[in-house]
Amino acid sequence: MNDLQNKRILLGLSGGIACYKAAELCRALVKAGAQVQVVMTEAATHFITPVTLQALSNREVFTSQWDDRPANNMAHIELGRGVDAILVAPASADFMAKLLHGRADDLLSLTCLARPLQQVPLILAPAMNREMWAHPATQRNVQQLKADGTVVLDVGQGDQACGEVGDGRMLEADEILDDLIAHFQPKRLSGRRVLVTAGPTYEALDPVRGITNLSSGKMGFAMARAAREAGAQVVLVAGPVSLPTPRGVRRVDVRSALQMQAAVQAEMAQADVFVATAAVADWRPTNASDQKIKKDGSGQTPVLSFTENPDILAGVASSDRARSGQLFCVGFAAESHDLLSNAQAKRERKGVPLLAGNIGPATFGQDDNALLLIDAHGTLELPHASKLTLARQLVEQIAARLPRDGTPVLP
Ligand code: C5P
């Protein structure tokens, strides 16, 4: 995915053992399409060489404010102009303290101070020992940096290079990349709360067997990610899939349709948008056996009987919150044929204002898809693209339909 195509990123490294992760980060940024200009403090060069970063960024690395390569001999001005963001990873405790005071005695801090404040966001990925991170001085600095408009990313938790365990590790390269990509997405759902269901459900026959389907959960996870990127608080109710949880999303794992329904009902009062992407099993075995069903050697097969599962989406869509326009519901329809007429009928049957139709066999398990959006006024095709791209487009469509002034949005 070229999520950072045409983005110019100044990647700054200050001193810390997490510099080893900055190499991976640099590579990931380039892979995502960014043009990366690396600037290192003198301390950073003790942990990793400029040669490594030059090779990975495919550009000369800058380390000194006295570098005379820029024609006007003002590296600190030239480097910070025209970039889309300055990302300092790792940002050491000392470097953050320096930024806070507007000190500028090396090229990286100079460039941060000299950047056009309104146009070039400064994003820090802190990295330090847990005691340093927890120290009131560091925490005070973080608060003040945020108040000054700097974006300070979270820190990771776990084993530290010093042998201690706690908060303060730098996030992993892929986590920083995701946060940076999210930073550039329009905040269309800022202040909204979004509830998403994803994946298949699993309906047990006995303790070791059950009935499920081929839904991968990818579309629902992409929806959760896209909503979070757009600034929403997101809860993802996930059926049994092993996908990683999108950054900043609260995940509730469930297995059966009844568990999914219970989780949705517990969360829906706190949601403004409900997106049902899960492929919920239509039926569950009426009496799941507590013990493994055994072959008895007679050649007789077990007789299974089924009970219909509740329709989670239809239930939410008929709630008072949804009917009064406080909870905007979006359904999905996986059809094998006659997409338009089947999806239109489904939208009305479920009583939802917006439904995304797709061809089931073409989407299950795939990274790409195409959607046909249907609302009361007509249809909109979202052509073939990655599920994340489609999810971002769907977020845009949802955001455009949300009440701005309390005006209900009814099916
Ligand atoms: O009826 P069908 O399964 O085709 O409807 C699909 C839509 O309804 C999806 O949005 C799906 O998440 C939702 N659904 C549900 N509970 C069910 C069945 C479907 O929420 N039991």
Give residue 303 CA to ligand 1 midpoint distance, Å.
27
The protein residue whose alpha carbon is closest to atom 13 in ligand 1 is 313
Q: What would the two tokens of residue 113 be?
A: 């101070």
d(CA 338, CA 164): 60
Q: What is the separation, in whole angstroms, between the first and last Cα of the chain?
A: 35
Helix (H) or strand (E) holding 209: strand 209-211
Domain positions in the chain: 8-184, 193-401
- CA dist., res. 390 & res. 277, Å (int): 13
Measured from the Cα of 350, ligand 1's closest atom is 8
Q: Are 165 and 182 in contact (CB under 8 A)?
A: no
Quickly state the pLDDT bin for 93 (edges 50, 70, 90): very high
Domain 8-184 superfamily per CATH: Flavin prenyltransferase-like (3.40.50.1950)
Residue 278 CA to ligand 1 centre (angstroms): 7
Query: How big, in percent rounded to 5, are the helix, strand and coil portions of the chain?
Result: 35, 25, 40
Query: Is 70 exceeded by the pLDDT of residue 409?
Result: no
> 408: CA distance to ligand 1 center in Å?
23
Whole-number Å distance, alpha carbon 282 to ligand 1 midpoint, is: 8
* pTM assigned to the model: 0.94
From the candidates 26, 112, 162, 329, give the one annotated as an active-site residue.
162
Please choose from 237, 280, 346 the residue to mutate so as to test ligand 1's pocket, defined by most ligand atoms within 8 A of CB.
Answer: 280
Query: Do the domains at 8-184 and 193-401 have one common CATH topology?
Result: yes
227-270 pLDDT, tens digit each: 999 999 999 999 999 999 999 999 999 999 999 999 999 999 99
pLDDT in the model for residue 77: 86
Going through 41-192 in order, the beta strands assigned E by DSSP cover 85-91, 122-126, 151-152, 156-159, 165-169
Where would I find the H helices in 173-291?
173-183, 218-229, 257-267
Give the position, in ligand 1's atom list, of the atom nearest the Cα of 349.
Answer: 1
- Out of 22-36, 65-79, 111-125, 295-309, pick the least confident: 65-79
Confidence of residue 336 (pLDDT cuts 50, 70, 90): confident
Alpha carbon distance 58, 47 (integer Å): 20
In whole numbers, what is the pLDDT of the chain averaged over residues? 95
Residue with tokens 């020992």: 129
**pLDDT at 78 (0 to 100):** 87
Tell me which residue has its CA closest to atom 4 in ligand 1: 333
The Cα–Cα gap between 179 and 162 comes to 26
Quickly list DSSP for 262-327.
HHHHHHGGG-SEEEE--B--SEEESS--SSPPPP-SS-PPPPP-EEEPP-HHHHHHTSHHHHTTSS
What is the architecture, at CATH level 2, of domain 193-401?
3-Layer(aba) Sandwich (3.40)
Q: Which atom of ligand 1 lies at the shortest distance from residue 278's CA?
A: 12
Q: Identify the CA nearest to 194 among candidates 236, 252, 138.
A: 236
Relative to the CA of 333, which ligand 1 atom is closest? 6
pLDDT in tens, 52-90: 999 999 999 999 999 988 888 888 888 988 999 999 999
**Any catalytic annotation for residue 162?**
yes
CB-based pocket (< 6 A), ligand 1 = 197, 257, 276-278, 280, 309, 311-313, 331-333, 346
Query: With 70 as the cut, is the pLDDT of residue 144 above it?
Result: yes
pLDDT confidence of 284, banded at 50, 70, 90?
very high
Pick the residue whose CA is nearest to atom 17 on ligand 1. Answer: 311
Ligand 1 midpoint to CA 356 (Å): 11
